[in-house]
Structure 1
Amino acid sequence: MDAVYQALVVTVAAFVAISFPCLLLAFLCRHRNNRLLEPDHRCASSSPLPISAPAGTSSELSSSWSLYGSAVDSSLKKLSLDDLARATGEFSPDNIIGDGSFGFVYRAVLPDGGPAVAVKRLSADHAAGAGNREFRAELEVLGSLSHRNLARLLGYCAAGRDRLLVYELLERGSLDAWLHGDAASLPLPWPARLRVTRGAAAALAFLHHDRHPPVLHRDVKSSNVLLDEGFEAKLADFGHARVVTGGPAASHLSTQAAGTAGYMAPEIREGVGASVKADVYSFGVLMMETVTGRRPSWPMKNIIGKEVELLRWAREKVEAGISSEIADHRMGLEGETETKEVKDFLDIAQSCTEESPKYRPTMREVVERLNRL
């Protein structure tokens, strides 16, 4: 019996001797991996944010759906949360210059003493889900592109659950504010509206035709068209942007709905899928909004007195040859030349908002037609 007992003791001791080192090694490896996956709360400027990690690496901000497979532009500043907090007065409500479902935009002055900038801070809940994808999309698009009509991204920060983007500050705000908001008390004349529209069109044409592979914006609207001091348009907010892997003629990129009610193309609303022609449609709605001074979501009474959405109301007027009736009187049209420009402008908008994508022009064609006005 003693021999059996001794054998049992030896067996247990051997099992413990072998198992303990294995369990300890497994614990240390797991702890090390967790440390590697922890977000950097300091946002130190010495290391770039791994938006598109090399094969075989793991990162909180990397995944198999990386948009372009390119890292963030090294010229972008990686800023600390502390610096951005100080620059915005601890994210003071007094410094808020914009807001939305994503969070808030603050006016800020960075420690380097340069010109004021705009800091977009995603709300913690938003940043944890879709906001994190939008954060990466903004970095990968604006961090790798440069065009006079694209808003310029200057830097970023990812600290814990905080996601922040730093842009050039465009003092004149958005086209939306000039058409419908506080700035609407100052009439935006027709030449300025035409200039803004040409700039926004040039930005989309660049994304669709001069960027390889092409990029879909997927949320073209007046609040995403920002204005500099000279009323030069800057297309902003690339959180929904996606690449078109099949080139400009590719039919459908994704069936996932993206965009804003009133601007979305019929095929997006029906779940068919997005293409560059969906951006063209949204741009056509933007054109109608710009010339009428009315929001796309506003109900309007058509020719027979029925309430319809802005686009249908405007298209019926254009088709009936009475487009002059829908022009915003605040534009102060001067003479036959400007009146004809508005008519031709609405004809372009009409073609952009055709129900079928195949009948809509490309953005390159839209730019050419606008430049002939």
Structure 2
Amino acid sequence: MTGKKGLLAMIEYSSLESATNKFSESNILGEGGFGCVYKGCFDGGILAAVKKLDGGGQDCEREFENELDLLGRIRHPNIISLLGYCIHGETRLLVYDLMQNGSLETQLHGPSHGSALTWHIRMKIALDTARGLEYLHEHCSPPVIHRDLKSSNILLDSEFNAKISDFGLAVTGGNHSKGSVKLSGTLGYVAPEYLLDGKLTEKSDVYAFGVVLLELLVGRKPVEKMAPSQCQSIVTWAMPQLTDRSKLPNMVDPVIRNTMDLKHLYQVAAVAVLCVQPEPSYRPLITDVLHSLVPLVPTELGGTLRVAEPSPHASHKSSSH
């Protein structure tokens, strides 16, 4: 890691304005807590994503500084690259690599309902995400806890390589106890011990990773409205069925149902169950998760699985079509 802002370009506001066509609505890629992310087209046809944070006061400033500080120092294939930044009056802007396939959330829960994501691609996305987290937890000094891992912060490039984004809430080093860190995160992904007593460790990220793994597996959102006053979390819904081998195949996302080796399905379910354990000490380290996912991902997608037959026909054995 080099010094703060060491590798980053300061970009002129005027060039960000022209790249995004004056931040036109038609260029909006997504919306965050403090503003929008725009598609930008720069000289030479270079595409990038421009996050515009509009005068959100102290919190906004803190997230901007945090993101700048961390992403200015981190370089990893499974973590979003920050290309530059701009400070313009009250407005703060960050420029990132553009990710052609948007977020995992949009791919899973958007108009296509996960149809572009085969079983193997889902496993690759899980593996990529675990690699990014392992880098943060094990190879950054001090360790970085992302604190807001969720499907909308996992971005996919044109080849469906996954990169973790949005480091506005990330914290570095040591165990954080109640009071030292403002409670924040996203409903459905937040670990119970963090909600209950503000205890924050790397294991909080592992819990959120488990929720993402469940999303990939069953294709449901982390929290679904059942009735006006009732919400059900994916963890509560899935837990009893995940450990029951007869029920498991039926809860898989219909888009990928019957397309995977059942043995692999049981393995992934077992990993997910461990990650979302209410007691943090029962959850694995992300390194252990990584090692259990590598053999399930085909070699050409970054794992060690040798796929014997071409994948379109791989599902005949277990298929019920």
Task: Please report the TM-score for the alignment, with normalisation by the length of structure 1.
Answer: 0.74
Alignment map for 1:189-228 (pairs within 5 Å):
189-228=118-157
How far 1:115 moved relative to its partner? Answer: 1.4
Q: Give the Cα–Cα distance (whole angstroms) in 2 for the partners of residues 255 and 266 of structure 1.
A: 16
| Higher-helix-fraction structure | 1
Conserved? CA contact 2:143–2:172, under 8 Å: yes
2:242 paired residue among 309, 318, 321: 318
2:220 paired residue among 294, 318, 332: 294
Partner residue of 1:355?
278
How far 1:71 moved relative to its partner? Answer: 4.2
Partner residue of 1:120?
51
Instruction: Calculate the aligned-residue CA RMSD, in Å.
Output: 2.0
Over the matched positions of the two proteins, sequence identity in percent amounts to 37
Q: Give the Cα–Cα distance (whole angstroms) in 1 for the partners of residues 103 and 10 of structure 2.
A: 26
How far 1:114 moved relative to its partner? Answer: 4.6
Q: Residues 271 and 84 of structure 1: is their aligned pair in 2 closer, same or farther, counting only changes over 3 Å?
A: same
- Other structure's SS at 2:31 match: strand
1:268 aligns with 2:161: no
Q: Give the residue type in structure 2 aligned to 1:285.
A: V
Q: Give the Cα–Cα distance (whole angstroms) in 2 for the partners of residues 231 and 310 of structure 1.
A: 24
How far 1:109 moved relative to its partner? Answer: 1.6
Greater Rg by CA: 1
- Other structure's SS at 1:184 match: coil
Q: Which moved more, 1:183-192 or 1:217-226?
A: 183-192
Q: Give the residue type in structure 2 aligned to 1:372.
A: P
Conserved? CA contact 2:127–2:293, under 8 Å: yes
How far 1:270 moved relative to its partner? Answer: 1.1
Q: Residues 157 and 188 of structure 1: is their aligned pair in 2 closer, same or farther, counting only changes over 3 Å?
A: same
Q: Give the residue type in structure 1 aligned to 2:12.
A: S
How far 1:75 moved relative to its partner? Answer: 2.4
Q: Which has the higher contact order (CA 8 A, sep 6+)?
A: 2
Q: Give the residue type in structure 2 aligned to 1:109.
A: C
Q: Give the Cα–Cα distance (whole angstroms) in 2 for the partners of residues 158 and 312 of structure 1.
A: 44
1:342 aligns with 2:273: no
Conserved? CA contact 1:291–1:328, under 8 Å: yes
How far 1:307 moved relative to its partner? Answer: 7.1
How far 1:76 moved relative to its partner? Answer: 1.1
Q: Give the Cα–Cα distance (whole angstroms) in 2 for the partners of residues 251 and 102 of structure 1.
A: 25
1:367 paired residue among 283, 290, 312: 290
Partner residue of 2:301?
none
Partner residue of 2:167?
238
How far 1:200 moved relative to its partner? Answer: 0.3
Partner residue of 1:333?
258
2:18 paired residue among 86, 95, 113: 86
Q: Residues 299 and 346 of structure 1: is their aligned pair in 2 closer, same or farther, counting only changes over 3 Å?
A: farther
Conserved? CA contact 2:84–2:95, under 8 Å: yes
Q: Give the Cα–Cα distance (whole angstroms) in 2 for the partners of residues 241 and 168 of structure 1.
A: 20
Q: Give the Cα–Cα distance (whole angstroms) in 1 for the partners of residues 293 and 123 of structure 2.
A: 8
Q: Give the Cα–Cα distance (whole angstroms) in 2 for the partners of residues 118 and 85 of structure 1.
A: 12
Q: Give the residue type in structure 1 aligned to 2:73.
A: S
